[in-house]
């Protein structure tokens, strides 16, 4: 059995009324991306899509093109973030359009991004924009039946005839025992063997209720940030307290000292590979192409330097071999298009299609090579 790449997909590239109310007229994720500024000489910002392709996901043809590009690059499916607040949905149209109107056969599943929405971007206050509530049994059932239309889609990813449903912050759900039991019961009543729940291991750690989940998933690189124990973690935390020393003039070399650019891509890849080899209990490994969330977080953002298509290709090849050896069906890529976090493989003006070619080469090399 070959291990496969599933890529996280971010849908916030179309206008919705709530974002215009909270962030200004015409806001989409591209608004964040265009805020990117170089902090010091050699810092790769702003990130710009190839041919100025600031696409609009309200057009189904855009997402369909992405599925074809991803398939050619060796990706086996998308994991779409979806946003559900006790009956209220946000950013749902691209995913619903794909489910209801697209003839593309590309597999997919959903990630419930279940956090409250707070005004934390741009180093602003933590005002609550939309608070998450989990409700009672009637609300849980309504949520399930919204998901059921996706689960019944023949393209929806399933493991052991159980729809895969990923939860970003399960720690935040006070009623998760009852909630998950209700969902699993409803899944069986609707013709499935159950529900394959995956809890994400993020910067906030992993939920300790192992019995509630079919598996965990490492969300990289922030999962590795959390578990880092070297001097790098201490230095990163020290720099967090000195971000006001970053000068307004971004070309100053001294900003290299103060910016949070502690971790190199090569170091984190080695750390991720080492962790994956330990075959942690019921955990799908994660990979990433890069990380730089300064367009959202300004000086408080974290920069991972040194990524390249060549390093990415080598890392993916190794991780696929490790996953196969440990009988992990999937490796999760962060991400297809998280441009404001520097976590994307889509074509940009600096590298063109190089990351997608590297991904294709890595998958081909893995399939014809010997396990590492």
User: How many CB atoms lie under 10 A from the CB of residue 244?
Assistant: 9
- The pLDDT score that the predictor gives to residue 260 is 87
Measured between alpha carbons, how far is 147 from 141 in angstroms, rounded to an integer?
10
367 touches 316 (CB < 8 A):
no
**Separation in Å, CA 48 to CA 32, 39, 65:** 11, 16, 19
| Residue-level pLDDT at 122 | 53
At 84 the pLDDT is: 97
Answer whether 169's CB lies under 8 Å from 202's CB: yes
User: If we measure between CA atoms, which residue out of 199, 193, 362 comes closest to residue 280?
Assistant: 199
* Residues of the chain predicted below pLDDT 70: 121-125, 248-251, 370-372
Give me the phi and psi of 342, to 5 degrees please.
Answer: 65, 20
d(CA 31, CA 16): 13
Domains and CATH numbers, the chain: 4-368 (3.20.20.80)
Alpha helices (H) along the chain:
17-23, 29-33, 60-73, 93-101, 137-151, 176-189, 222-227, 231-240, 255-258, 265-277, 294-297, 309-325, 354-368
pLDDT tens profile 182-224: 999 999 999 999 999 999 999 888 999 999 999 999 999 999 9
* 103-117 residue pLDDT tens: 999 999 999 999 999
pLDDT score, position 240: 83
pTM of the model: 0.95
């Amino acid at each position: 059995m070959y291990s496969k790449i599933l890529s996280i997909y971010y849908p916030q590239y179309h206008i919705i009324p709530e974002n215009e109310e909270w962030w200004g007229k015409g806001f989409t994720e591209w608004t964040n991306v265009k805020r990117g500024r170089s902090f010091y000489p050699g810092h790769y910002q702003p990130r710009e899509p190839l041919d100025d392709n600031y696409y609009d996901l309200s057009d189904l043809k855009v997402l369909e093109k992405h599925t074809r590009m991803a398939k050619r690059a060796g990706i086996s499916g998308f994991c779409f973030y979806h946003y559900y607040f006790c009956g209220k949905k946000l950013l749902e149209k691209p995913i619903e359009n794909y489910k209801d109107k697209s003839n593309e056969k590309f597999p997919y599943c959903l990630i419930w991004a279940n956090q409250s929405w707070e005004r934390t971007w741009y180093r602003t206050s933590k005002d609550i924009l939309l608070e998450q509530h989990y409700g009672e049994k009637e609300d849980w059932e309504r949520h399930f039946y919204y998901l059921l239309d996706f689960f019944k889609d023949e393209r929806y990813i399933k493991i052991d005839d159980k729809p895969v449903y990923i939860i970003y912050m399960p720690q935040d759900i006070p009623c998760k025992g009852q909630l998950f039991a209700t969902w699993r019961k409803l899944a069986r009543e609707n013709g499935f063997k159950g529900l394959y729940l995956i809890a994400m291991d993020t910067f906030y750690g992993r939920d300790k209720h192992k019995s509630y989940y079919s598996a965990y998933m490492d969300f990289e690189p922030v999962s590795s940030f959390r578990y880092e124990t070297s001097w790098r973690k201490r230095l990163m935390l020290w720099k967090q307290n000195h971000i006001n020393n970053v000068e307004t003039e971004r070309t100053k070399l001294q900003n290299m000292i103060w910016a949070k650019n502690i971790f190199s891509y090569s170091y984190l890849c080695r750390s991720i590979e080492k962790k994956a080899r330990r075959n942690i209990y019921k955990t799908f490994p994660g990979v990433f192409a890069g990380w730089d969330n300064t367009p959202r977080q300004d000086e408080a953002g974290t920069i991972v330097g040194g990524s390249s298509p060549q390093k990415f290709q080598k890392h993916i090849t190794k991780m696929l071999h490790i996953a196969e050896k440990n009988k992990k069906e999937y490796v999760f890529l962060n991400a297809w298009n998280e441009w404001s976090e520097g976590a994307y493989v889509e074509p940009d003006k600096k590298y063109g299609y190089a990351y997608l070619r590297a991904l294709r080469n890595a998958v081909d090399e893995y399939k014809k090579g010997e396990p590492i």
